[in-house]
Chains A and B, each alone.
Chain A
Amino acid sequence: MDRALPQPTPETQHFWDGCAAHELRLQRCIACRDSYFPPRPFCPKCGSREVEIYPASGKATLYSYVINHRPRPDMGTEPHSIAVVELAEGPRMMTNIVGCPQTPQALVLDMPLEVTFESFGAITLPLFKPAEAPAR
């Protein structure tokens, strides 16, 4: 069973291209400066179409998660985290936490994380791992 990979659309292509280049790309409104996610060609807060794409810091904190114990052959044979992280720039996104045990003891809410990228054929997914140096 293959992983359920995304099919980019014209409005999201820059995000997936960024992942392939190991860069987490966000958008922000030029008028109100608000960063937002998921991608769209206008600001969801003020409606302005004047928006820009920029590389995010890749820093985040663990906002919430579950550890899935149900069979998911494409995700491996062991229980795995499905998490929502809060990016330093503000938006939240779903991801997996990797590089640490998939246990409640290792996965502590608000722990500092940093982005890492993993390729699955033509698609690269943004995953997160515990930050090497504690975030301020």
Chain B
Amino acid sequence: MTPKSIAIVGAAETTKMGKIPDVSVIGLHADAALNALADAGLKATDIDGVATAGISPVELAHYLGITPTWADGTAVGGCSFMLHVRHAAAAIAEGLCTTVLITHGESGRSRVGAGGFGRSPSSLMGQFEMPFGVTSPPTMFTIPVLRYLKARGYTEEDLAQVAVVQREWAAKNPRASFKDPITIADVLGSPMIAWPFRMLMCCLVTDGGGALILTRADRARDFPQKPVYILGTGESVETPMVSQMEDFTTSRAFRVSGRKAFAEAGVTHADVDHLMIYDAFAHLPLYGLEDLGFCQPGEAAAFVRERHTAPGGKLPVNTNGGGLSYMHSGMYGMYALQESVRQMRGIAPAQIPGAKISVCHGVGGMFAASGTIIFTNEA
């Protein structure tokens, strides 16, 4: 894909967010899709490419009445939607389709029409991780962290600081689930989930969805919204088992994905005005700042502590409040993308004045996968 040759022309979240007990998973996909279509001034019949995760692209196309010439069901966890954006950009550039709809919907809290989390006991995870008591992300994603803290000289307070700063951003966002200010003491005093992780270092569990519509940049001017151009993209995968990460102090998938995206975009870190780092847990922004190259290893905690990522800081991070305070339905990547698009359109609740370049970085599984999209609002 040539930088700026593909644009986001439609973007929306579900009408409601948080607790939505009266809508099923596929209903959340459809609600987000209809909102994004309205945002772009399109009908479902205008769409000829579909991508989604959680449900199959076949279900999505059929439910909405779309006859696609391109479909992508890449499902690598919460960053699947970053990979969809990347794949869709390549597909449009190649002429496989012209107008792509990417959807996410998840009944993470209410579990309406949602599947289970079951993994086969004969899978590698089923044989070599599940027997030791891991159940869900709070006992898996957190496993590398004590090693990371020791290697970097970071502390529990450094993890807590991430949650505190993100709550400051959430306070500016009317749609955020949690808006009340918190302190490091509040975070460290919240219930223990899996040492060293307390409840306020873990993401929310909510219902919601989001959708994006992409097309060629030369068509984007005909759409009602300010186009948001794709400048660079990256993706990678590492391991389905967190215990088998190459190095517990750095994510290979983050590094590979980030490097690809920056190389394609042809921008430097100093050019970046806004950054989203998928934060299922409080350690992820620290890994992200280091692995994407915004901080040297060992400097990320001080970078957050010195308020560079906070409101008023030089590198605003997770300006919607993040998975820790805004919302987290299970596959949060779509909401990070939505916030990057809002910032580039200039309509975010906590808008960064004059922001021109936004980096949106996602994680899938437990450091299993990664996707990075770099956006700009300059044609």
Contact = CB atoms under 8 A, between A and B. Distances in A.
Interface residues of B, number: 35
B138 A64 contact: no
A69 B145 CA distance: 16
Contacts of A67: 192, 194-195
Given A6-B131, A38-B128, A82-B132, A92 B195 contact: no
Is chain B's binding surface mostly helix, strand, loop or mixed?
mixed
Interface stretch (B17-25, B58-66, B117-125): B117-125
Contacts of B243: 84, 92-94
Contacts of A8: 122, 127
A36 B131 CA distance: 20
Given A4-B121, A7-B126, A109 B244 contact: no
Contacts of A3: 131
Interface in B129-158: 129-135, 138-139, 142-148, 150
A6 B134 CA distance: 13
B193 interface: yes
A125 B127 CA distance: 10
A6 B241 CA distance: 15
B197 interface: yes
Contacts of B133: 68, 72, 74-75, 80, 82, 96
A8 B122 CA distance: 6
A66 B194 contact: yes
Interface in A77-101: 79-80, 82-84, 92-96
Contact of B121 (A6, A37, A93): A6
Contact of B128 (A6, A72, A74): A6
Interface of B: 120-122, 124, 126-135, 138-139, 142-148, 150, 191-197, 241, 243-244, 248
28 contacts: A4-B121, A4-B126, A6-B121, A6-B126, A6-B130, A7-B122, A7-B127, A8-B127, A9-B127, A16-B127, A63-B248, A65-B143, A66-B142, A66-B197, A67-B192, A69-B194, A69-B195, A70-B139, A72-B135, A79-B195, A82-B139, A82-B143, A84-B144, A84-B243, A84-B248, A94-B243, A96-B133, A104-B195
Interface of A: 3-9, 12, 16, 37-38, 63-70, 72, 74-75, 79-80, 82-84, 92-96, 104, 109, 123, 125
